[in-house]
């Protein structure tokens, strides 16, 4: 499962403008798998700004990381701007070529798309960005978690928690994943039943879609 040492190398891509919860849900779960080594990597190590004002830290520069068993790509309102960073896209493509699992949450799949990884691949993204994903010739699947071979893409933001627990079960078995789910007391009680575009009020959906697309357009 790992060519370098006894631990599973999990690498989280960080970049300015990313959505903190996209990363932190999966990070909280995957870092607690047995025998893992977790690295947070960005163009340059140091402070990384997220789109909620919270600052995170990246430990490594892309150039320091040449291998990942699990690659994780978070989303952002500005995820599509990463198409202007060939250094990031080349790194994603190179790391992906040797991963066991390549994963994304939310508009992180647009970065996989821009890296040329999703051509003809079943994938998903945040509901408001589905048309954007089509740009990269992915086969859109409107589900919360979509697996296509070693590529797992998740829907918007909070879907990363479900994706990471599902991946934890694949890697370490159901009992480990169940312990992790109980450890974060993940027995959700959302106050409303509107978290998916299929359930939301059409007016709310359209107004939010316009707002989010405007944010994408301003990239």
* Contact residues for a copy of itself, defined by CB under 8 A: 19-21, 24-25, 27-28, 31-32, 38, 40, 47, 52-57, 106, 126-127, 144-145, 155-159, 161-162, 165-166, 169, 174-175, 177-179, 181-197, 199-201, 204-205, 207-208, 212
Nearer to a copy of itself, 94 or 205 (CB): 205
Nearer to a copy of itself, 108 or 197 (CB): 197
Nearer to a copy of itself, 93 or 144 (CB): 144
**Closest separation between CB of residue 58 and a copy of itself, Å?**
9
**Closest separation between CB of residue 106 and a copy of itself, Å?**
8
The SS3 assignment for 73 reads: strand
**Closest separation between CB of residue 60 and a copy of itself, Å?**
13
- Cβ-count burial of 7 within 10 angstroms (0-12 exposed, 13-18 middle, 19+ buried)? middle
Nearer to a copy of itself, 8 or 165 (CB): 165
The DSSP 8-state label assigned to residue 15 in this structure reads -
Active-site residue set: 106
Cβ atoms of 85 and 56 within 8 Å: the answer is no
**Closest separation between CB of residue 44 and a copy of itself, Å?**
15
From the list 90, 100, 111, the residue with the least C-alpha distance to 68 is: 100
Backbone angles phi, psi at 218, to 5 degrees: -75, 0
- Residues 6 or more apart whose CB falls under 8 angstroms from that of 31 comprise 10, 38
Encode burial over 35-60: b for 16+ CB neighbours within 10 A, e otherwise: ebbbebbbbebeebebbeeeebebee
Nearer to a copy of itself, 89 or 168 (CB): 168
- Residues 6 or more apart whose CB falls under 8 angstroms from that of 146 comprise 122, 123, 124, 152, 153, 154
From the list 44, 26, 8, the residue with the least C-alpha distance to 166 is: 26
**Closest separation between CB of residue 191 and a copy of itself, Å?**
5
């Amino acid at each position: 499962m790992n060519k370098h040492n006894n631990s599973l190398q999990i690498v989280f891509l960080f970049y300015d403008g990313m959505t903190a919860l996209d990363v932190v849900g999966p990070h909280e779960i995957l870092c607690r798998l047995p025998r893992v080594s977790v690295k947070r990597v960005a163009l340059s190590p140091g402070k990384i700004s997220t789109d909620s004002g919270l600052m995170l830290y990246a430990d490594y520069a892309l150039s320091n990381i040449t291998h990942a068993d699990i690659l994780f790509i978070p989303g952002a309102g500005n995820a599509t701007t990463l198409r202007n960073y060939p250094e990031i896209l080349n790194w994603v493509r190179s790391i992906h070529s040797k991963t066991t699992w390549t994963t994304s949450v939310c508009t992180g799949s647009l970065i996989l798309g821009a890296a040329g990884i999703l051509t003809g691949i079943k994938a998903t993204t945040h509901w408001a960005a589905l048309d954007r994903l089509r740009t990269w010739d992915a086969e859109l699947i409107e589900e919360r978690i979509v697996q296509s071979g070693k590529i797992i893409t998740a829907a918007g933001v909070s879907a990363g928690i479900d994706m990471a627990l599902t991946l934890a079960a694949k890697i370490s078995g159901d009992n480990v994943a169940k312990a992790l789910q109980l450890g974060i007391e993940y027995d959700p009680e959302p106050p409303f039943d509107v978290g998916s575009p299929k359930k939301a009020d059409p007016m709310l959906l359209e107004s939010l879609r316009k707002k989010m697309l405007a944010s994408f357009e301003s990239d």
